[in-house]
Amino acid sequence: MKKNRYLFLLVAFLLVGLLAAGCGGAKETPQAAGGDTIKIGFLGAKTGGHAHYGIETLKGMQMAVEDINSAGGVNGKKLEIIEGDHGSNSSEAANVTQKLITQKVSAIVGDPTTGITKVAAQICQPAKVVLLSAGAVGPGVVEIGDYIYRDTLLDAVAARQ
């Protein structure tokens, strides 16, 4: 089970890393321009009621970044995690998301809850920063825009009544 989660996070990170590096794009986003590193934001709860989700997601990200960087990075650039703790609070999630964007992250691996993901997505989409939710299963997430992704099925599909 742990190995499957680790492999999934590694694949998700590779996808986000490739998107962040601007592979195949004619224009480079300001976040992806220059530097020796690609900054990937972590938006999750390290404190508060959902801290266990955030801490485990961050551990998976750290393992994936370590593996990717030891293999040469993405297009020769190392990945760097910029951490943001929203403490399981929606309004703090908005503040943390905005702060991550001002720190020039190329992408954000976000919260596993639908509500906080929707808050972050409303900020990421106009800023053209990729947001990948590590588990938002409710409707109306990816419909926010073409920079918003999730790595799981909707509850309505995965657990039909």
Residue matched to tokens 């691996």? 109
Tokens of 36: 């020796």
Residue matched to tokens 């650039």? 77
- The pLDDT assigned to 125 comes to 97
pLDDT of 130-153, one tens digit each?
A: 999 978 888 889 999 999 998 876
Dihedral-angle region of residue 121 (phi above 0 means left; psi in -120 to 50 means alpha; beta otherwise): alpha
Q: How far apart are CA 73 and CA 55, in angstroms?
A: 23
Tokens of 54: 């955030």
pLDDT of 36-90, one tens digit each?
A: 899 999 999 999 888 888 899 999 999 999 999 999 999 999 999 999 999 989 8
> What CATH fold (topology level) applies to the domain 2-158?
Rossmann fold (3.40.50)
Q: How far apart are CA 44 and CA 116, in angstroms?
A: 9
77, 38 in Cβ contact below 8 A?
Answer: yes
- The pLDDT assigned to 74 comes to 95
Rg (C-alpha) for the chain, rounded Å, is: 15
* For the chain, domain boundaries: 2-158
pLDDT of 85-120, one tens digit each?
A: 999 898 999 999 999 999 999 999 988 888 999 999
Name the pTM for this structure: 0.77
